Structure 1
Amino acid sequence: MPPSTSQDLARRHDLDWIRVGAFFLLILYHVGMFYVPWEWHVKSPHPIPALEPVMMLTSPWRLTLLFLVSGAATRFMADKVSVGKLARGRMARLLPPLLLAMIVIVPPQSYYQVAEYVAAHPQAPFGVDPWPVFWGKYMTSSGRWCGEDGDCLITPTWNHMWFVAYLLVYTLVLALLLAIIPRLGDKLQAACERMLAGPWLLVAPIAFLALARAVLLPLFDITHALVDDWYNHAISFAAFLLGFGLAKSSVLRDRLIALRWPALTLAIVAYAMFATYAWIYRQGEPAEALHLAMRGVYAVDQWCAIAAILGIGARHLNRGGPVLRYLTVGVFPFYIVHQTVTVVLAHHLAKLGLPQGLEALILVAGTFGACFVTYEIVRRVPGVRALFGLRAQPAAEASRPPAFA
């Protein structure tokens, strides 16, 4: 592959493909959450413990990768507009969907979570209210839906939309840094190129992730509540800044391409080690030394998988086209609605007694189908587009069917 130039990076189609793929994996992951024995909003009456290692294939790195790609996208935007316009643009793009989700889209998730809890605990001190009553209690935080362990359902909530809330906050923090530090993007890029040379491209991020997991995670569990989620912030904001720094770096792109296969090999080995460890100790406590060592293994899996994906994407996914243009725009509305569709559909499918394979197939197809239908509807309605994070578009263009030829 010839050496890359800055002109090659005017548009990173590889990062667009990676973003779309990561969001699609997230949709599949949330379908899997219905079946895996882990706690979630609604659960299959027939959980599948053997699904746990499959779920662990993407859980260490999927959201970290999304924050990195989001940071890269922010770099391209920041280099075109003023700091004020960047902040206002991100507010206009992210805040309306977040509010829409918390008020309209997410409440059914809480409703069915309460319904399933009541069904499993007939002696619960609360019942399932009619929807209008439930929604009123949801919006006023007056539901008092508390489990036997004393944990209560907090409402209103953002559930899966925590990613959007964090992305909005990170962008505003970055805008402040851009206002204080001139040419921050170029300086951050130069620092990344200098610090991530040779094997340090793998070693330095792994060391940072392992240290954060060893020091911060025991103190700050992952809550997605923004104000007390410091381990998650350390990882996610660092990934966001790294994406901002590497987005336009031909040097780092070429280094990632060169290291893609060693990174993939390390990721596979680390995944196998951590998944085996998690399976063996899923109902027991390991020795502290082993527990600490596995945090390092988790960090190897987390970064090496990301590095391999970035390298493979830069080498093989560098072409655009109508399909990518359609999905790049559509994937955000997909993300907004997908989990509610999965929760509602899974709850009702479980009552039909279908073979589990068929049920899962319907759940996957139904979730993706509803996402496509939602996008096709909202992109045609000017007043609704902004609520789903879509920019304004001429009416004739918005009503045109997708052209994939």
Structure 2
Amino acid sequence: MSSTAPVPAPSSRRHDLDWIRVGAFFLLIFYHVGMLYVSWDFHVKSPRIVEAVQPVMMLTNPWRLTLLFLVSGAATRFMADRFAADGGRPGARLAGSRVLRLAPALVFGMLVIVPPQSYFEIWHGLAALGVADPAASPVLHDFWIRYATGSGAWCDAEGCLTTPTWNHLWFIAYLLPYGLIVAALIALAGPALKGLERRMETVLSGWGLLIWPVLWFAVLRFTLAPLFEITHALTYDWYNHALSFSAYLFGFLTARSEIMKAAYVRLRRPALVLAILSWAGWATYAWIYRADGAVPPDALRLAMRMVYAVNQWTCMAAILGFAARHLTRGGPVLRYLSVGVFPFYIVHQTIIIAAAHWLMPLSLPLATEAIAILGVTLACCWLTYEIARRLGWLGLFLGVKARSPKKRSPA
């Protein structure tokens, strides 16, 4: 007899995780609009920087993308269980599904969606140097060909722009190998994964749910983070991989656990208190030492690594707990958005940068300008999704899987 546990019914869902995924992707849109107006580097910048926005944006910096990897791992678990329930080889089917779902969108995104971001980045760099008509500059001549072939030689004092690039689509570039690794683990060590899942339930069913993940994040902050700056380049991005893949695997292993879900609900309020306190400490520290030449004392810098780790996990735990308690219903809105957030994600940053390029010269009131950029972005994202869902298999290039034809009832 097989030593593996029975596969749960594939029809069961975690609507709370679906809502979190939708919310996290929409949060990215707001965040990237905010990137136009803070002092941090971005492809296009507003001349009107609002530093006071930065502490608000720091609310999400430590955990936003890590949470996305966690819920993506959970989604992969439901997918793998569905393949297992259908019979055959779930590891191989999961690997094929991940390649088909992610590779077309990544390649299309790098060659079609992302190039305008690089174009406008170079355009604004030329304008900052005093070029009267950047679009007519030989620097941008045959832009797409030079972009696609990596022959642009677009350099400044800070370095060169390497193309083709995936920019914000790095998330897809990381999800693809993570999914393939998990598929290999299912194929080679499925029973061991089940055993690891049960041990995690034992260790994390009580206060360990808040303690052990914080310690793990702290270990990463003290060891890998000082050595490996986050690059989003896939290679030599070891701190980011350790953080993101561990969250992805954690989501995969715990997605089905009712014990873990109950623990999140039970500890949601303590997690929220710790999240608020740790954010206040981290944001204050980052604000005080925000200047380029500001050097914090070594002891304070080390202490803040721990505070950052606390904030990383407790924010995620609070969100998971409150969502598990309150966001338990599905429905047509959630079904629509669950599919739509992926094409929204693929195109949103290009639309933000293009909208900013055209709207910022109008010198609208700052709030009006930001709202207009956000409105244009959401409208164009929605339009992209509506087009993509009507393209059949071509919709894969924009992150939308072709819908299966409905079975006709017998005459």
TM-score bracket relative to the smaller structure: over 0.9
- Partner residue, 1:391: 401
CA 155–269 in structure 1, closer or farther in 2 if over 3 Å, else same: same
Structure 1 unpaired stretches of 5+? 1-5, 398-405
Q: Distance in 2 between matches of 1:346 and 1:22?
A: 22
Aligned pair 1:369/2:379, yes or no?
A: yes
Q: Distance in 2 between matches of 1:130 and 1:103?
A: 19
Q: Which moved more, 1:130-139 or 1:168-177?
A: 130-139
For 1:29-81, what per-residue CA distance to the aligned partner results, in whole angstroms no more than 9, with x for missing partners? Answer: 00000111101000001111111101101111010000000000111111122
Please report how far the alpha carbon of residue 129 of structure 1 lies from its aligned counterpart in structure 2 after TM superposition.
4.6
1:223 to 201, 224, 231: 231
- Partner residue, 1:401: none
For 1:269-303, what per-residue CA distance to the aligned partner results, in whole angstroms no more than 9, with x for missing partners? Answer: 00000000000000111011111110110111110
- Partner residue, 1:29: 31
1:69 to 68, 71, 74: 71
1:285 to 266, 291, 295: 295
Q: Distance in 1 between matches of 2:130 and 2:199?
A: 59
For 1:164-215, what per-residue CA distance to the aligned partner results, in whole angstroms no more than 9, with x for missing partners? Answer: 0100010011111112102344223212112213211111110110110111
Q: Distance in 2 between matches of 1:391 and 1:228?
A: 32
- Partner residue, 1:327: 337
* Contact 1:380–1:395 (CA under 8 A) maintained in structure 2: no
2:256 to 248, 258, 263: 248
1:310 to 317, 320, 331: 320
Q: Distance in 2 between matches of 1:289 and 1:252?
A: 35
Q: Distance in 1 between matches of 2:76 and 2:166?
A: 23
CA 78–395 in structure 1, closer or farther in 2 if over 3 Å, else same: closer
Q: Distance in 2 between matches of 1:75 and 1:7?
A: 12
Q: Distance in 1 between matches of 2:180 and 2:348?
A: 26
Please report how far the alpha carbon of residue 122 of structure 1 lies from its aligned counterpart in structure 2 after TM superposition.
3.6
* Contact 2:395–2:401 (CA under 8 A) maintained in structure 1: yes
Please report how far the alpha carbon of residue 383 of structure 1 lies from its aligned counterpart in structure 2 after TM superposition.
4.1
CA 195–8 in structure 1, closer or farther in 2 if over 3 Å, else same: farther
* Contact 1:68–1:243 (CA under 8 A) maintained in structure 2: yes
The runs of at least 4 consecutive aligned structure 1 residues that moved more than 4 Å come to 6-9, 126-132, 394-397
- Partner residue, 1:57: 59
Please report how far the alpha carbon of residue 240 of structure 1 lies from its aligned counterpart in structure 2 after TM superposition.
0.3
SS at match of 2:35: helix
Q: Distance in 2 between matches of 1:86 and 1:184?
A: 18
Aligned pair 1:239/2:239, yes or no?
A: no
Structure 2 unpaired stretches of 5+? 1-7, 84-89
* Contact 2:205–2:259 (CA under 8 A) maintained in structure 1: no
Q: Distance in 1 between matches of 2:42 and 2:372?
A: 20
Please report how far the alpha carbon of residue 384 of structure 1 lies from its aligned counterpart in structure 2 after TM superposition.
2.3
1:190 to 189, 198, 201: 198
* Contact 1:209–1:299 (CA under 8 A) maintained in structure 2: yes
- Partner residue, 1:101: 109
Q: Distance in 2 between matches of 1:8 and 1:316?
A: 23
CA 108–129 in structure 1, closer or farther in 2 if over 3 Å, else same: farther
- Partner residue, 2:5: none
- Partner residue, 1:133: 142
TM-score, normalisation: structure 1: 0.93
TM-score, normalisation: structure 2: 0.91
Identity of aligned residues (%): 54
Aligned pair 1:146/2:155, yes or no?
A: yes
Q: Distance in 2 between matches of 1:198 and 1:231?
A: 28
Q: Distance in 2 between matches of 1:385 and 1:293?
A: 48
* Contact 1:382–1:395 (CA under 8 A) maintained in structure 2: no
- Partner residue, 1:349: 359
CA 53–9 in structure 1, closer or farther in 2 if over 3 Å, else same: farther
Please report how far the alpha carbon of residue 219 of structure 1 lies from its aligned counterpart in structure 2 after TM superposition.
0.6
CA 253–394 in structure 1, closer or farther in 2 if over 3 Å, else same: closer
